[in-house]
Structure 1
Amino acid sequence: MKKRILLSILGLLLVIGLLAGIKGLQIFKMVGKKNSFVPPPETVTTAKAHSESWERTLSAVGSLEAAQGVTVAAELPGKVSRIDLTPGTWIQTGSLLLQQDTSSEEAQLKAAEAQAALAKVNFERLRQLIETHAVSQAAYDEGEAKLREAAAQADTIRATIAKKTIRAPFSGRLGIRLVNLGQILKEGDPIVSLQAMDPIFINFMLPQQDLARIQPGLAVRITSDALPGEAIAAKITAINPQADSATRNVRVQATAANKDERLHPGMFASVAVVLPGKNQVVALPATAILPAPYGDSVFVVEERKDEKTGTSGLAVRQQFVRIGEKRGDFVAIVSGLDKGATVVSSGVFKLRNGQSVVVDNTLTPKFSLTPKPNNS
């Protein structure tokens, strides 16, 4: 019995050893294949680092402002008796906008004019009598003072009537009416917005270190979401002599023609101040840059010979670069890459240093300094 058990145990150990040997041979072969495995070359698109002349510009965010703009308001309290304005229309200087009730002032004016007429008659009589020395100089002076006082009283009432007759202070386009017929207005109550929009001002801020690079007359390009794909030409017309003490920025104002009134006060705009001269840069598509916390890099495509097989092929070498200004689909290379170098232009995230590649530029995307996506 013991002999049978011993034979069973030996047989079991023999089977286990045989299985372990087979499995070890399999693992050994797999390790050997891994060490000799050569990954297939990766298909990439390429682009050449080339020299370009780029405009020197200063970018900023601006706000549009009318050349003249005001919210017309009531100067004196009173009831609205007449409205002559039509919202959204263009009006000339002096056009009647609104009339407040002036019935009491007109009645007072008639009395004041009568007093002024009487004072004038009395003064004319005194002037005749003074020539014959029939009245004293004091009586003559008093008559003259009463005449002037009566005339001033009448002028005061006329000024009150004029203030309640509200007219356009300048030519421009009216906004939405803010009052109604019969409404009682208080002093300062808004009536309507009036904006002269041609020309139009663009106000923006630039850092103090750029102050020496700008001057009145420099060209400015304005772009806005309201006019997609279109740039409006403007010129710098004023530079604030005082910098903001909190931000150290300087306020700059440019002026642009706006005859069709497509630009409106208060709108946001992107501003590009065009500086004299151009910069020569080495440009690459922005998709060729592999960003990383330790530095940006590109993959340079080079001819490389395999030491084992002796065959030649293309491989990539990771090259760290320092990038500068971005313009459209391109980025300027400040250092780390020479003009004429061929780099991978897409799919850089799947590459590693020394990897074999195959170039296929049939599907290379089109790069532009002024891209216009179809869905923009």
Structure 2
Amino acid sequence: MHIKSWLTALLIIVITIGGLGFFKFQQIQAAMAMAEAFPEPSAAVKTHITQSREYVPSYQVNGQIVAKQIVQLQNELPGIIYQVNFAGGDKVNKGDLLLSLNTSEEQAQLASAKATLKLRKSNFARMATLVKQNKVSQQEFDLAEAEMDIAKSNIENLQSIIAKKQIVAPFSGVVGLDTYQVGQFLPSNSAITTIVGDDANIWVDFQVPQTKRRLNVNETVVVTAIGQNREAQRFAAKIVGQNAQMQASSRHMIYRAEINDGATHFRHNELVKITINAKAQQLVVVPNSAVVRNQLESFVYQLVKDDNKAYRAQKLVVSLGERLGDEQVILSGLEIGTLIATEGSFKLRPGLLVYPEMTDDSSLSAALMPMPRNTVELN
């Protein structure tokens, strides 16, 4: 009796489990059928076939503008300022008197020296007549001649002192600010002002690291101004010279280039940027929209055909070079002739079905046509 009850219960359990299993199987089959009927995710993108292009990489260094003529005017002798004939920013000509010191004492000494010279000349002329008549000795004649020469030297010395107290422009140009006043005592070797020559051309000095290629005389570099609203000011400069040796402290070579008519745009000691071109290379350049960037890497999506001749996205990690406007230089990771996604590439993921947009090239358009499938586009 007990055995029959156990068998009945077991049969009921088996029937229940079998029924539940069959019901679940039917649910799974229905879900699979629904999944097959649902469109596969896809994306439409614009495409580009990679090509090589001559790429001239460049780098920038800092440069400093150097006037072709510049000097800081200083006084050799001390004295009281008697006259100041310039103001900061004035244009002066070569030989113009800029500043003079009081020379009243030297002028008085000069007048005395001239009177002495007149007397010495008269005495020398008298001695010259007497020596011919043998009325004076040759020694007395030589002494008179020496005294006359000494008087001449005294005059020349005083004239030199007076000239040194007259500060004149050594060349034509523009003077800097004046900081001294009439009546002020000026010690020797005081910095009076700076004068910059009015040459239309100007130099720019810059340093290139030892790791870069050596530049040649007559090679051209590009000088860019620094400052608000001046970034667009670019000027060609031709290298005119270089230092005889490498800088021991920095391992840099110093070069000097000349900017034609640069004095109207730059000032002495002004900081500028120097752009130097390196050796030309053949590299892959792609539209910037083709490159997807994240914190770890940069990559593009190559479009490859699957077994059904439909295009799938394949991720290619690339190494980026310089950005050229709307284009990006690819240093490595991408070969010439590769079909890649451009606009819309941000929607892609590896393995995603892709519909490339048609191009103007009919043969390429035919090559891009995928096999018809039930799809839904990803937004």
Q: Fold conserved (TM > 0.5)?
A: yes
- Tell me the SS of whatever aligns to 2:162: helix
Q: Retained in 1: the 8 A contact 2:81–2:99?
A: yes
What's 1:284 paired with? 286
Q: What residue is the counterpart of 1:321 in the other structure?
A: 318
Task: Specify the SS of the correspondent of 1:107.
Answer: helix
| Inter-partner Cα distance in structure 2 for 1:54 and 1:324 | 10
Q: Secondary structure at the match of 2:264?
A: coil
Note the C-alpha offset of 1:232. Answer: 0.8
Following the alignment from structure 2 to structure 1, what is the Cα–Cα distance between the partners of residues 343 and 151? 89
User: Residues 358 and 173 (structure 1 numbering): CA distance in 2 closer, same or farther, change over 3 Å?
Assistant: farther
Report sequence identity in percent. Answer: 28
Range 346-355 or range 216-225, more displaced: 346-355
Contact 1:218–1:274 (CA<8 Å) still a contact in 2? no
State the shift of 1:278 in Å.
4.0
Asked if structure 2 preserves the Cα contact closer than 8 Å seen for 1:53 and 1:279, the reply is yes
Taking a change above 3 Å as real, the CA distance of residues 245 and 181 of structure 1, as seen in their structure-2 partners, is: same
Please tell me whether the aligned partners of residues 218 and 273 of structure 1 are also in contact (alpha carbons under 8 angstroms). no
Cα drift, residue 316 of structure 1: 2.7
Task: Sort the Cα spacing of 1:294 and 1:259 in 2 relative to 1 into closer, same or farther, 3 A.
Answer: closer
Instruction: Select 1:205's aligned residue among 204, 207, 231.
Output: 207
Q: Aligned match of 2:240 in 237, 242, 250?
A: 237
Give 1:239 deviation, angstroms: 0.9
What do the CA deviations read for 1:3-54 (whole angstroms, capped 9, x no partner)? xxxxxxxxxxxxxxxxxxxxxx9xx99xx99xx7999556766655333333
- Structure 1, unmatched stretches of 5+, are 1-24, 362-376
The alpha-carbon deviation at position 238 of structure 1 amounts to: 0.5
Count, aligned residues = 326
SS at match of 1:94: coil
Kindly indicate whether the alpha-carbon contact (under 8 Å) linking 1:178 and 1:190 is maintained by their aligned counterparts in 2.
Answer: no
Tell me, what secondary structure is at the counterpart of 1:321? Answer: strand
1:268 aligns with 2:271: yes
Cα pair distance change 1:267/1:130, threshold 3 Å: same
Normalized against structure 1, the TM-score is what? 0.74
User: 1:254 aligned to 2:257?
Assistant: yes
Structure 2 match to 1:68: 69
Say if 2:62 and 2:273, in contact at 8 Å, map to a contact too: yes
Please state if 1:116 is matched with 2:117: yes
With the length of structure 2 as denominator, give the TM-score of the two structures. 0.73
Give the Cα separation in 1 of the matches to 2:165 and 2:290: 69
* Partners of 2:178 and 2:201 in 1: CA distance: 24
| Bigger mean CA offset, 57-66 vs 324-333 | 324-333
Pairwise CA distance, 1:267: 1.2
- Residue 237 of structure 2 aligns with an amino acid whose one-letter code is A
How far is the alpha carbon of 1:253 from its aligned partner?
A: 0.4
Matches within 5 A, 1:187-226: 187-196=188-197, 198-210=200-212, 213-226=214-227
Query: Which runs of no fewer than 5 residues in structure 2 stay unpaired?
Result: 1-23, 359-379
The amino acid across from 2:52 in the alignment is: S
What is the SS of the residue equivalent to 1:232? strand
Matches within 5 A, 1:18-57: 40-41=41-42, 48-55=49-56, 57=58
User: What letter corresponds to residue 95 of structure 2 in structure 1?
Assistant: G
- Structure 2 letter corresponding to 1:257: N
- Bigger Rg, structure 1 or 2: 2
| Pairing 1:339-350 to 2, within 5 Å after superposition | 339-345=336-342
CA contact (8 A) 2:202 2:263 kept: no
Q: Residue 178 of structure 1: CA displacement?
A: 2.1
Contact 1:223–1:269, Cα closer than 8 Å, also in 2: yes
Report if the CA contact (8 A) 2:217-2:241 is conserved.
yes
Select which of 318, 329, 332 maps to 1:332.
329
Classify 1:311/1:242 alpha carbon distance in 2 versus 1 (closer, same or farther; 3 Å).
closer
In structure 2, the CA distance between the partners of 1:207 and 1:42, relative to structure 1 (3 Å rule), is: same
Q: Distance in 1 between matches of 2:293 and 2:287?
A: 13
Most deviating of 193-202 and 342-351: 342-351
Q: CA deviation at 1:357?
A: 5.4
Aligned to 1:195, the other structure's residue is in SS state strand
**Cα distance, 1:133–1:66 mapped onto 2, change above 3 Å:** same
CA pair 137-150 structure 1, distance change in 2 beyond 3 A = same
The 3 A distance-change label for structure 1 pair 344 and 155 is farther
How far apart are 1:352 and its partner, in Å? 4.2
Deviation, 1:260, is 5.6
Q: Secondary structure at the match of 1:118?
A: helix
Aligned residues of 1:61 and 1:270 also touching (Cα < 8 A): yes
Residue 272 of structure 1 and its aligned partner are, at CA, apart by 2.4
Alpha-carbon distance change, 140 to 231 in structure 1, aligned in 2, over 3 angstroms: same
Paired with 2:204 and 2:190, the residues of 1 have a C-alpha distance of 29
* Structure 2 SS opposite 1:178: coil
